[in-house]
Structure 1
C-alpha cells in the first residue's frame, strides 16, 4: 500500500485528489489548518479506517518549517502531493496573500521532505496554466501553448494587482520547485500539473456559497441570475474537470513515465456562453434566471485564440477527458445541493 501525504485536503481540487487516492488504495495523511477541518474530512469518509486516512495540522504554509513535523510518519511516506496554494483575487497585498504562501509553501515542503522524509520517492505539485501563458501577448491567435512555455512575468509586475500576483505566484513557485530538484539533487522525482480553469462538482467543506472557489464562482453567477443581462468575458478559454485533474495527480504519482515532467492538463476550449447554454438546456426550471440565448458577452474572441498541445497528458497519463456538458451539469447539481 502506497503511503501518501497530501497538502490542503479541504481545498476544491485536493478534496477530489483525496478521494482518488483512497480509491487507488493509498494510505493518506492530509494537512489541514485546524482540527475542525480535519474532523470534517474524517466525518465525510465514515467507512475509511484510521490507518487509511488521518490528518496533520499545518496552520500556515507560508511559515518556514511549516511541514517539518507533519512530514514525519510511521509508517513513512512514499509519495507527496502538494495541492495547497491560494487561488483568489481578493487581496491588496499580493506578496503576503499570494506569492509567499505559494513559493514558501512549495519550497518549504520540498526542504522538509529532503530533511525528514528520505523514503519519499515521488512528488507531484499542483501548478497552473498561469505558469505557462504569457498574458502580455493577449489572445495570441495561432500560437500553440505547451509544457515548453513559461510565463515571463517579473517580480515588479507581480505586485501590481491580484491577477498578475496570482499568475506570478504559480510561475515562481513552480520554477522554485524545479530549481530545488536541480540544485539539491534529492531522492525524489518531481511532476507538475498545469491546469487552466478547473470546473466540476464541489465535494469539499463549504462554509457558505460566498466562499465558493473562484473557478466555480462563474457557474454560480450564471445559474443564479447575476449574468442575466450580459455574460461576463470568459477570460481563460481553456478548462479541465476537477475529477480528471485529480486522476492526473494520482496517475503522475504512480507512473515511472511521468517523473520529472510538466503536464499541461486541459480538455480544450469553453466559453461562458456555452456554460449558459448547457444550464439552460439541462435545467429548464432556472430559465427565468438565465441570460437569454444570444445575450451580449461571454463568447469567443472574433480575432481568434491561442491553441494548445495536451498530447503529453493524453499519451503519458492516459486521460480521457470529461465533456463540458457533463462537468457543468454535475457542477450545477452540487451547487444546488449546497443551497444555490
Structure 2
C-alpha cells in the first residue's frame, strides 16, 4: 500500500495503540488518532515531537452511538484505513455493563456506522483490535485437551456474563468483534472495505513512552511490574495463560491491512504459554540486582501449569503474518529493564 495513505487509529493513547502509531509513522503513513480529551491529544502529539504526519481528534465517549461521526465527517476524503483499538480494559469495576460491555459494543457500532455514513466508498481496510478473550470463556480455560484456534469463539451470552469483571471483559471483546463481522455481512455492497480482526492474548513488552510518575501499568504489563516490586517474603498470585509481545501486536496490525491475504481473517496473536513462575525464573536469572529481593517460588515448575488446560493453535495466523514472534524471555527482559531504568531516573 502507498505510504501516503491516511490511517485513523481510535484510542491512540493506549498501550498497544502507541506502538501502532509509532510503527505507522515510521512506515510513512499519515495518522489521525483519537483520545478522550484535548489534554490527552496534546500530550500524545508532544510525545511524538509534534510530527507533521500526526494529528489528533477528541472522541469523548465511545459509548455514544454517534461518537465518531464528527471525525469521519471532517476527514472522510482522507481516511482509507481504520484501526479500531479503543475499548475498555479494566477489572477495577463492578459496573460491568456500563464500564466494559456497553463502551466496547457501542464503540464498534459507532465507528462502523460513521464509516458507512461518511467513508463508505473511501475506507478500504478496517482492523479491529479484538482479543484472545473473544475465543474462549474464562470458565473453559482449565479444560485439558481443549484446542482454541482462529475459528473458535467465546460462546458467552449477555444474560450470564456480568458475574465478575474478567468474564464481563471477555464478553465485551466477544460482542464487539461480532458486531464488526455482523455489520460487514449486513451491509454488503453498501461499504467497500475489507475487515480483519486481531486477537492478542496477555500483552507484554516495553511501554512506548514510559512515565516515571506511573506506579502501575496497563493490565497485562502489571503482571510483570508487580513481580518486580514484590517482596521476597510476600505471597504472590500464581497465574498462567498465553502471551504476546506488544511490538508483535503492533506489527500484526500493519500486516492485517497491508497484506491482501489477511483480509477477512481473525488473526490469533499468541507467542506461547507462560506461568507466573516462568516470569520469576527469568527475572531472577537475568537481573542479579533483584535476586534475593523478589520471590523465587519453585524454579522450573512453570510447565506444571502451562501444559494443563486449554491450548492455542495459531499456525494459520503465523503463516499469514510471515514473521517470528518475540519470545517470552526477551519480552520480560525488555519490560523489566525499562521498569528499572525509569525508576532509576525518577
TM-score (norm 2): 0.92
Matched, 1:102 2:104: yes
CA distance in 1, matches of 2:180, 2:152: 16
Q: Secondary structure at the match of 1:213?
A: coil
Q: Find the aligned partners of 1:302 and 1:286 in 2 and give their Cα distance.
A: 25
Distance in 1 (alpha carbons) for counterparts of 2:214 and 2:150 = 34
Q: Does the alignment pair 1:80 with 2:82?
A: yes
Q: Is the partner of 1:238 in helix, strand or coil?
A: strand
- Listed as ranges, the gaps of 5+ residues in structure 1 are none
* TM-aligned CA distance change 1:226 to 1:179, over 3 Å: farther
Alpha-carbon contact 1:206-1:212 (below 8 Å) kept: no
Q: 1:144 to 1:302 in 2, by over 3 A?
A: closer
Structure 2 counterparts to residues 1-340 of structure 1, below 5 A: 1-46=4-49, 48-49=51-52, 52-71=53-72, 72-73=74-75, 76-118=78-120, 119-185=122-188, 186-204=191-209, 206=211, 208-225=213-230, 228-235=233-240, 237-294=241-298, 300-301=304-305, 304-339=308-343
Note closer, same or farther for the CA distance 1:101–1:248 as it changes in structure 2 (3 Å cut): same
CA distance, structure 1, for counterparts of residue 113 and residue 50 of structure 2: 34
Q: 1:139 to 1:227 in 2, by over 3 A?
A: farther
> What is the alpha-carbon distance in structure 2 between the residues aligned to residue 282 and residue 276 of structure 1?
10
Shift, 1:323, TM fit = 1.1
Report the alpha carbon displacement of residue 305 of structure 1 after superposing the two structures with TM: 2.8
2:47–2:209 Cα contact (<8 Å) kept: no
SS in 1 for 2:7: strand
2: distance between equivalents of 1:109 and 1:205?
29
Hey, what's the Cα distance between the residues in 2 that align with 1:229 and 1:299? 23
- Shift of residue 292 of structure 1? 2.0
Structure 2: distance between partners of 1:184 and 1:66: 20
Q: Distance in 1 between matches of 2:95 and 2:8?
A: 30
Deviations 1:14-72 (A, max 9, x none): 011111111211100000111221121121122722xx101000011111211001123
CA deviation map 1:178-237 (0-9, x unaligned): 1011001221111001111110101247584345101011111111125754441214x2
Residue 299 of structure 1: how far off its partner (Å): 6.1
**Contact (CA 8 Å) 1:230, 1:297: kept in 2 or not?**
no
SS at match of 1:108: helix
CA 1:138 to 1:317, structure 2 compared with 1: closer, same or farther past 3 Å?
closer
Deviating more after overlay: 215-224 vs 33-42 = 33-42
Where 2:34 maps in the other structure, the secondary structure is: strand
Distance 1:292 1:87 in 2: 30
- SS of the residue corresponding to residue 192 of structure 1 reads strand
Q: Which stretch has the larger CA shift, 74-83 or 258-267?
A: 74-83
Deviations 1:83-114 (A, max 9, x none): 11111101011000000110000111011011
Displacement of 1:282 in angstroms is 1.5
Moved more, 221-230 or 293-302: 293-302
Tell me if structure 2 keeps the 8 A contact 1:11–1:204: no
CA contact (8 A) 1:133 1:149 kept: yes
Q: Give aligned pairs, total.
A: 337
